[in-house]
Chains A and B, each alone.
Chain A
Amino acid sequence: MRKLTTDVVVIGGGSTGIGVLRDCAMRGYRTILVDRADLAQGTSGRFHGLLHSGGRYVVSDPESARECAQENAILTRIQPDAVECTGGLFVVTEQDDPEFGDKFLAGAGATQVPVEEISVSRALAREPRLNPSITRAFLVQDGTVDGWQLAWTATQSAVQYGGQALTYHKVNQVHHANGAVTGVSCTDLKTGEEVQIECSFVLNCAGPWAGQITHMAGLPPVAVVPGRGIMIAMSHRIVNTVINRCIYPADGDILVPVHTVCIIGTTDVKVADPDHLEIPREEVQQMLDSGEELIPGFRQARALHAWAGARPLIQDDRVAASDTRHMSRGMAVIDHLERDNLKGLITIGGGKLTTYRLMAEHIVNAMEEQLETSHPCRTAEEICPGNEPGHNYMITHRLKDREADRMTSPIICECELMNREMFTTLLKEHPHASFDDLRRQLRVGMGPCQGGFCSSRVAGIAHEEGVIDAARATGLLKLFLEHRWIGVWPILHGDQVRQVALDDWMLHGTLDISHVPSPAQVETDPVDGSHTGDDPPAAIRKPVSTMTASHAATGQQRRSALRPEETR
């Protein structure tokens, strides 16, 4: 058993937890973050990649809009390498309420979110694939953000201030005595070792899993209602600007260019278990219909991969309705001293990635209020390590890098331009990592071939470098392919069927991978068990017209029942 002592334990390695880790560490608290999986493996890695300009909320939630606009500018400055300044467009299609555009402009003025109405022809010149029948277009400062990059560079900043992040550490119990938190016990899932962390404060940032943590503290249940949203990555940059439907926030209203792909999102459906998120065929069809309305021919474009994320909505009767002091919009803070008479535990729910830094600031303020102390928050001032000031991500960066080093290191993943050196460097920093863990930082296997060519290479390299043995390399290779398939099969159609046939031909036909022995299980994998069964896809042979109509109706119901900003 390992024993650690610290001031604060942060549970949850999503953007909120990482923001809190960094803020606590910068304010001088000894802080340890634990997560049962990898950093940003949950909701923070399963979204559409939008860095909000605030435009989305100027009508529905002006305060949110203001916060987004401010935080967008801050993140673009402090984590430039995670942010691409794509700009965004809000477009009014023929199906949309033409008057919403006026409300949109008025709301933008009131919230000081920069918006400029541009002519339809200018919008089409900027994004030629856009539906030419749009009636109005507004330019905003949307960006796109890589949740994993954001998580890792913020963590590195925290580490510089003495913070620690323990990934694959599963919390088993939150201990308290005499009405105050005394520590947390966990299991290191990679080694099986028990880890006891003594602390006086626990910040529960477990998002959709926050209820499980309060249960481990023996407290009355906190009601968490995960809202599932699906996203589909389309091959290539169909657009280079974020495209929003200029409507009241709804399903399937956004197309986001991120790295080498475009992501369409999303839906919002109440689910029971955030560990089992389906990607239902009906919702896929709904996304493709929405895409078609923004980009004619969208259904003929190549869909690469789909995923589902769980929104961390907390509904708790015991939170005093008047207590909004510590809240960012869309965020719920439960101080368990007030709720359960337990000192040293605060649970956080809700929120959005764009405002993660601000939320963290509010949460640490709440902690300091309970501790009756105060330190200034400096997270907005300092640039995270590894980032060059003013040097925001551009899609061409990797091409430039590979052109510079192509004579020294072979390109292992051609789709995402990852070379051998990038892989081996990270692998040696994380020798226990699965190939999925490495993928989240390197993007290996995330392009059009979905691991068909690169997966057997990374297995060979990991073994050749002496980091893992051949059995584990083979096992991780198979696990990686299984995991890629989770996101491929629910959306498989069109040109991607050709790719899958080629991948199967290579991996199964030529290499005969399924007849290479490997350990029965190489990895415990708490999150990625999304949907691996044999369940049939729901009937999908419906004509388009009925599909659109029925989904429009159910979509409406879902929104009124589940949108965080409306239920709060």
Chain B
Amino acid sequence: MTDTVVIGSGLAGLVAAIRLALGGQQVTLLTFGTGGTQLGQGTIDVLGYTSDDPDDPSVHWPFDELPRYAGAHPRHPYARLSADQVRRAVDWLATLVPDLLIPGDGRNHVVPTAVGAMRPTYLVQPSMVWPDPTSVAVVGPRQIKDFYPEMTAANLEKTAEVTATGYHIDLPTRRGEAESAPVVYATALDDEQFRLGFATEVARVIGDEEVVCLPAILGLKADTSWRIAKIIGRPVVETLMPPPSIPGMRLNEALLAIAKEAGVRLITGSKVVGFEGASGQVTAVTLRQAGRDQAYPANSFVYAGGGFESGSLSMDSYGEVTETLFGLPLPGADQPRLITGNYWKDQKLFSLGVDVDKTMRPVNATGQAIYNNLYAVGGLLAGAIRWTEKSGDAIAVASAVQASDSIVGKETNV
């Protein structure tokens, strides 16, 4: 018997499933795809920028900023979660994957990106620590087409106030190949022989720079980048790249392994297409499997289906915006100007989502929970534009922890 069904295996879904299972629940995780963690940057964002101060939008101490930010954005998920809750949730996540996430000290890190930005984020992987150097070498293999070291270097000179030089190495993972997929390259770097050749070649081309920036393809294993740095003899920093994200895959794999270890039953490749419910209670969700629809009954349901990017939120050709599984209300969806012609401005469309109470249950216009055992977490939640704020990961983690604790607490109380 399943106590709780979790829908979706992005960061929010995995965290909820793990937290529930560790809390003693029988958990079934239903997921259609592989989850969004592998598309993200593989760090944990809390709050990187606020649009409120155009002169200095960067956030340095995110938890100090959260109460003010939540006050200014009353629909934001951070208005449902206290700064303390968010901090405890991400701290707990760091303890789950100690090889992959460095414990936070309250202050944002900055990490270089492939276009040469210095991007704020909160928890980073050990391969991404920026040691505040005065000179960096940016090195990329010619076979990686999402990384152009000269351009990264030129822009880092402005954004990181360093002297930076770009270098190429020419090292195919397989002989004669013009391009390598990042996964192929990362897998090759996990191999000792190839890694040695790679690091030796990097060491050969660079000058006397203090630090070496390499594309974020340094192995699917957590310690590969450290081994590379050891051979080169200088600190190495992974530079964020477009997906597929190798750091994201590391995180995803680690969390998936923990979920399985904790006894989560995982059902992949099938889509949840409907639900059964009565008098304020969801009784089952319907999974479309080969040949038939199958009902998955449970006591509680955690909906971690993601936002527009995953199709849980959708806008049809008439401009009607809906949540596609439970038909949950989306406050503000009928306002005009959801999309505008200014590319650099946040589009309101992407801040639409499900409004929840403090336990993460979706609520109606009067603030009442619509189903007393349905919880919504992660990218579904209203009020944040995650990619400009750099806030999506902590929203996912904290909302998932809060929903799970509400479920476990409630059943304990019963």
User: Is the CB of A460 closer than 8 A to any CB of chain B?
Assistant: yes
- What total of A-B pairs shows CB separation below 8 Å? 189
From 467 to 509 in chain A, residues with beta carbon under 8 angstroms from any chain B beta carbon are: 469-471, 473-474, 477, 481-482, 485-486, 489-490, 492-494, 497-498, 500-502, 504-509
Q: Which of B179, B319, B341 has the most CB of A within 10 A?
A: B341
Q: Which of A471, A497, A534 has the most CB of B within 10 A?
A: A497
Interface string of A314-344 (1 = CB under 8 A from B): 0000000000000000000000000000000
Min CB distance B54 to A, Å, is 12
From 92 to 122 in chain B, residues with beta carbon under 8 angstroms from any chain A beta carbon are: 113-119
From 312 to 362 in chain B, residues with beta carbon under 8 angstroms from any chain A beta carbon are: 314-320, 334, 336-337, 339-345, 347, 349-350
A533 and B343 form a contact (CB under 8 A)? no
Looking at chain B, what size class is its interface with the partner chain?
35 or more
Interface string of B200-241 (1 = CB under 8 A from A): 000000000000000000000000000000000000000011
Residues on the A chain within 8 Å of B344, using CB: 482, 514
C-alpha gap A346/B340 in the complex (Å) = 42
| CB-based nearest A residue for B248 | A510
A460 and B340 form a contact (CB under 8 A)? no
User: Is the CB of A388 closer than 8 A to any CB of chain B?
Assistant: no
From 149 to 177 in chain B, residues with beta carbon under 8 angstroms from any chain A beta carbon are: 150-152, 154-155, 158-159, 176-177
B341 and A501 form a contact (CB under 8 A)? no
Residues on the A chain within 8 Å of B177, using CB: 407
Q: CB < 8 Å: which of A473, A506, A534 contacts B151?
A: A473
Given the known interface contacts A456-B146, A510-B245, A534-B342, the answer about A505 and B40 at a Cβ–Cβ threshold of 8 Å is yes
Min CB distance B35 to A, Å, is 14
Given the known interface contacts A457-B145, A497-B314, A534-B337, the answer about A512 and B119 at a Cβ–Cβ threshold of 8 Å is yes
A515 and B117 form a contact (CB under 8 A)? yes
| CB-based nearest B residue for A284 | B317
Interface of A is mostly: helix
C-alpha gap A219/B68 in the complex (Å) = 64
C-alpha gap A534/B342 in the complex (Å) = 6
C-alpha gap A44/B168 in the complex (Å) = 42
A539 and B342 form a contact (CB under 8 A)? no
Residues on the B chain within 8 Å of A470, using CB: 116, 150-151, 154-155
User: Is the CB of A556 closer than 8 A to any CB of chain B?
Assistant: no
User: Is the CB of B271 closer than 8 A to any CB of chain A?
Assistant: no
B309 and A486 form a contact (CB under 8 A)? no
B342 and A533 form a contact (CB under 8 A)? yes
B155 and A516 form a contact (CB under 8 A)? yes
User: Is the CB of B74 closer than 8 A to any CB of chain A?
Assistant: no
Interface string of A458-470 (1 = CB under 8 A from B): 0111011000011
A494 and B114 form a contact (CB under 8 A)? no
B150 and A509 form a contact (CB under 8 A)? no
Given the known interface contacts A470-B155, A474-B115, A489-B339, the answer about A409 and B178 at a Cβ–Cβ threshold of 8 Å is yes
Residues on the A chain within 8 Å of B49, using CB: 515
B350 and A504 form a contact (CB under 8 A)? yes
C-alpha gap A542/B118 in the complex (Å) = 45
Given the known interface contacts A408-B178, A508-B387, the answer about A541 and B320 at a Cβ–Cβ threshold of 8 Å is yes
Given the known interface contacts A459-B151, A463-B154, the answer about A510 and B113 at a Cβ–Cβ threshold of 8 Å is yes
User: Is the CB of A536 closer than 8 A to any CB of chain B?
Assistant: yes
User: Is the CB of B269 closer than 8 A to any CB of chain A?
Assistant: no
From 526 to 548 in chain A, residues with beta carbon under 8 angstroms from any chain B beta carbon are: 531-537, 539-542, 544
Query: What are 7 A-B interface contacts by the 8 Å CB criterion?
Result: A288-B317, A456-B146, A460-B151, A464-B148, A497-B315, A539-B336, A541-B319
- What is the interface of chain A, defined by CB distance below 8 A to chain B? 281, 285, 288, 299-300, 303, 406-412, 420, 453, 456-457, 459-461, 463-464, 469-471, 473-474, 477, 481-482, 485-486, 489-490, 492-494, 497-498, 500-502, 504-517, 531-537, 539-542, 544
